[in-house]
Amino acid sequence: MTESTAFYCRRKRRGDSDRKKNQPSRPFGGTVLFYSNDRKLTIVQTIYMENYIEDSILFLDGKFLKAKDAAASLFSQTLNYGYGAFEGLRSYSTIHGTKIFKPYEHFTRLKKSCELMNIPFDYSLEELTQLCYQVLEKNSLTHAYIKPLVIAGENLTLTASQESSLMIYAWEWDKYFDTREVTVCISSYQRPNPKSTKIEAKVCGHYVNSILAFSEAKQRGFDGAIMLDGNGFVAEGPGSNFFYEKDGALYTPPAGNILMGITRQTVLDICAELDLPVKEKLFRPEELFEADSAFFCGTAAEISAISSIEGQELNKPWKASLGLIVQEAYKNIVMEKSHAYVIV
């Protein structure tokens, strides 16, 4: 490596300078040094990016490697065009041992994402699940976030690559949001138009839109964002689905402009089991200012309470909301505890 081949990207996270020593830090942010070496992109140094740990063992195309020894091509369509697919799973330290929540559902979606994108990918659900457990075991992780990424092959043209690689990486990630209840804004960024992409696929490039929306929310002083679809209806968050409560019922946007979340389906199942009224419908952001409560749901976000929308407090405190019942039930399900409730 020579200085002239080095690409140096430095970004210091807000609040880093005042973070106390030994205080657990949140993932994200980073100072990363990449260098080109035989047409490969290799991460050689990180300072702030806590979800990348050099000595972590990851899976890459049939091998388990230290993260610092793993490399991918600079000419991959995923790096150049965002043409790749991924998943995000969580594992929990349950009373029955370390358990990944709904791996088959996640891997069914990953295979579907690849199929919709014409990215070749032929691992079975069982193989993928076992690989994730192996990554967890090799890193002594129990309570973790797991990211399988399908990287499209080298091709700088706009024809779909005929090859792909699979990377599986895992790290300990506690809470998605910093606070127990989050403040949200209505994003100025719409979700991608479903006629311009396969919105139901979890495609790397879609997350440019998510990063823009999330960054805008942070810059405006909010914890998160609610994004609208091209017709002005509420769609979802940059990385989670959305529900709100009004007069004893929950509402969530239907399929069409959202990623069909596995957690969203779990919430619908919880509602069915607990006899909580829930309806999929289109609604405009104005309706949210009359909402009793609201929450985001997603694998990373789990069930995250929302306290206010564009600075306006929701009618009910979270502890009196239907969301709290769903949140408790969800916790019990992922932890494999029994979740019988009596609603009075």
Binding residues for ligand PMP, per CB under 6 A? 88, 236, 239-241, 259, 261-264, 298-299
CB 169 to ligand PMP: min, Å: 16
Decide: 334 and 342 in contact? Cβ < 8 Å. no
Give the residue with the Cβ less far from ligand PMP, 224 or 261: 261
CB 47 to ligand PMP: min, Å: 27
CB 232 to ligand PMP: min, Å: 18
Residue reference for tokens 């992409």: 197
Phi and psi (nearest 5°) for 155?
-175, 115
Give the residue with the Cβ less far from ligand PMP, 135 or 267: 267
Q: What is the 3-state secondary structure (H, E, C) of 21-60?
A: CCCCCCCCCEEEEEEEECCEEEEEEECCCCCCCCCCEEEE
The vertex-238 CA angle with 220 and 241, nearest 5°, equals 120
Give the residue with the Cβ less far from ligand PMP, 57 or 213: 213
Task: Classify residue 113 by burial, with Cβ atoms within 10 Å: 0-12, 13-18, 19+.
Answer: buried
Give the residue with the Cβ less far from ligand PMP, 183 or 263: 263
* Interatomic CA distance for residues 109 and 117, integer angstroms: 12
Give the residue with the Cβ less far from ligand PMP, 239 or 323: 239
Give the residue with the Cβ less far from ligand PMP, 154 or 328: 328
Output the residue with the shortest Cβ distance to ligand PMP. Answer: 261
Compute how many other C-beta atoms are within 10 angstroms of the C-beta atom of residue 255. 12
CB 270 to ligand PMP: min, Å: 13
CB 66 to ligand PMP: min, Å: 27
Supply the Cα-derived Rg of the chain in whole angstroms: 21
CB 106 to ligand PMP: min, Å: 7
Q: Identify which of 136, 161, 158, 134 has the alpha carbon closest to the alpha carbon of residue 150.
A: 161
